Amino acid sequence: MFKALTEKLAQWRKKLLLPPTIAGLVIISSLTGILEPLELLTFDQFFRWRSQENFPFVTVPEKIDPRIVIITIDESDIITLKQWPLSDAKLAQLIDIIKQENPRVIGLNIFRDFPIKPGTEALNHVFRTTPNLIGIEKVIGDVIQPPTILSQLEQVGFVDLVLDNDGKVRRDLVSITSQEFEQKLSFSITLALTYLNKENIFPQLSNSSKDEIIIGKAHLFPLDKKAGNYINIDNGGYQILLNYRGGEESFQTISILDVFNQQYPQNLFRDRLVLIGGTAASIQPSFFTPYHHSYPTSGTIIQANAINQILSAALDDRPLLKVWSDPLEWLWIFTWTTTGIILTYLLLNKDSFQYNTLIKWGLFILSNFGLGLLLIGSSYLLFLQGWWVPTLAPLIAVVGSSVIVMVDKWKYLAMFDTLTQVPNRLYFDKVLEQTWLLNQLSRRQTSLILCDVDHFKEYNDTYGHPAGDRCLQKIAHCIRMTIRRSDFVARYGGEEFAVILPKTDTQEAKRIAQRIVEQVISLNILHSRSSTNNYITLSCGVASLSLDDESSPEVLIEQADIALYKAKEQGRNRVIIYDSSLVAES
C-alpha cells in the first residue's frame, strides 16, 4: 500500500512540477527582453483588429470624436497658399476666424519661436486676447522655444513624443520636470484639461496612491520600467500607454484653405476643441504608430489621439490602457501553461478516447490550436477592456508544455509496454547494460529474474484475450509492488517478465523471486485448465553475474533463461537458481 502510494506520488510529482518549471522558464526568458518585440507586435495587431469592420462580433470601430476638429495643412494647401511657414498676419487671421464661433479651446500645433512678418503685432494681439489658445514648445533634445507671450501667460504645452526601440509611438508623455525643477505639461494634456474645465472637471491626486491622478472618470497610473511587456524602458516623466482612437479618419478634419474661404458648416468650431497642425510630411514630423508598418503618421494626428484618450476616459469612461502587476502576469502565464499541460495529458491518455492513434494525435493538434486561439482571443478581449497583458509569453508556454508532454508521451510509448504499464524489452536491454557496467565498476553482483506465467496459452484459450490482458496487468502490478525500489521490472515477452536486481547476490535474488511467486498465487486468479494449480502461477529462473572478465549481460540472460527452463521442467510454480550443473543436466 505504502509503495503504491509512493509510486503515485513520484508520478504526480513530475506532472505537478512541470507547469511551474515551464512557466518559470518562460517568465525568466521574458524578463530578459527577448519577447518584448513580439509582444509589441501583438499589441499593434490588437489596435488594427479594433479598427477593422471585419470583427463585427467582437468590436465595432469607434466613431469619430465629435469634440475635436482638426484644421489640417497638407501639401496641396501649401502649394495653393504658396508660403510656409505662414506669416504672422495669416496665422492671426486663421485664429480670428476660429474665435468667431467661440471654440472651447484652440491648440496651435505650429512652432512660433520667432516672428514671421508681416503681421507680428496682429498675432501678438491675438495671443494676448485669446485665453483659451494653447501653443507648443519642444523641451527634450533640440529645444524649440514657445511663443513668448503664450509662455508668459502659461498657455503652452510640450509636444515631445516617446519612441520605442522600433521607432513607434505607443506611450504618451503627460508631464516632465525640467532642469529648473519646473513641472511642465504636455500639449495634449493641457488642451484636454482646458476643455474639461468647463465641465468642472479638474485633476486630483488619489488618496490611495501618490502616483495616481484622477480626471473625472479617468484614473491615470504612470508606467514603471517593466510595465506590461516592456523591459527596462526609459520611463522618465509621467508616461501612460497611448490608447489610440485611430488615424486621421477617426477625427473630423477640415483643410486650412476651407477655413480661410469659410467653406465649412456653420458652428463647426463652437464649443469644440480645435487643433491646428500640419499633416504634410514636408512641414510636420511624422512617426510610426501601431496602425501602419510603412506609412508614418503626422504628429498632429498623434496629438489628437492623446487628447482624445483623456477626454473620452474622463467623460465617456472609455478605458485607458493599463497593465497588470508582475505577480498577476506570472499567474496568467502559469494558468495557461497548466491548462495546456492538462489538456495534452487528457488527449494523450490512452483511456481518455477510444480512438485510434492518428485520430488522437489529430485531436491533440486541433485542441492546442484552439487553445492558442482562445488565449489570443482572451488577451484581445482584455485589451478591449483596457488591459495589456502578455500574449506571446503564455502562448509559448502553452506550445512548449504541450510539446514537452507530447515528447514525454512518445518517449513513454517507445520505452513502456502500454498494456502492463511496465518498461518494454528495448528499455530493459538498455537498463541491464547500464546496471551491469555500474556494478562492475563498484565490484558488486548483478542478478536477474526471468518470470513466465504458467500455462498462459490455455488461460487465453479458456477465458479469452481480454481476460488474458487483465491477468498480465495484475501480475505486472503485483511484481512491481513486490520488488524493491532499486529493482527494475520489464515485460520481457508475451507472458514473460524480467526483474533486474542491482548490487544483489544470488541468495537475496532467490528470496525476492520466491516472494514474487507467492504474491502471484495470492492474487487468486482462477485457472481451471492449469495442470499446476487451480490459480495462476509463475515459474522463475534466477541468475547472478560473477565478477570475472568473461561475464556480460547476454551471459546473465542466458543463465536466467536456463534456470527458468529447469523451473518449468521440474513442475512450474517454483524458483530455480542457475548453476553449472543445470547446463550439464540439459
Helix axis angle, 120-128 to 88-99, nearest 10° = 30
Give the Cα separation of 467 and 460 in Å (integer).
7
Determine if the peptide bond prior to 553 is cis (ω within 30°). no
Instruction: Using the structure block, give the residue that is written with the C-alpha cell 524578463.
Output: 31
Determine if the peptide bond prior to 118 is cis (ω within 30°). yes
Give the Cα separation of 549 and 533 in Å (integer).
42
- Distances from the Cα of 383 to the Cαs of 32, 56, 59, 82, 278, in angstroms? 24, 16, 11, 45, 31
Instruction: Using the structure block, give the residue that is written with the C-alpha cell 467623460.
Output: 315
Give the Cα separation of 95 and 126 in Å (integer).
8
In Å, how far from its chain's centre is CA 575?
Answer: 57
DSSP readout, 251-302? EEEEEHHHHHTT-S-TTSSTTSEEEEEE--TTTS-EEB-TT-SSS-EEHHHH
Q: Are 131 and 164 in contact (CB under 8 A)?
A: no
What is the CA angle 255-257-259, rounded to 5? 75
Q: Are 135 and 101 in contact (CB under 8 A)?
A: no
- Which of 36, 39, 495, 496 is the catalytic position? 495
- Distances from the Cα of 364 to the Cαs of 31, 347, 525, in angstroms? 30, 6, 38
Let me know if 433 is a catalytic residue: no
Give the Cα separation of 140 and 142 in Å (integer).
6
The catalytic site residues sit at 495
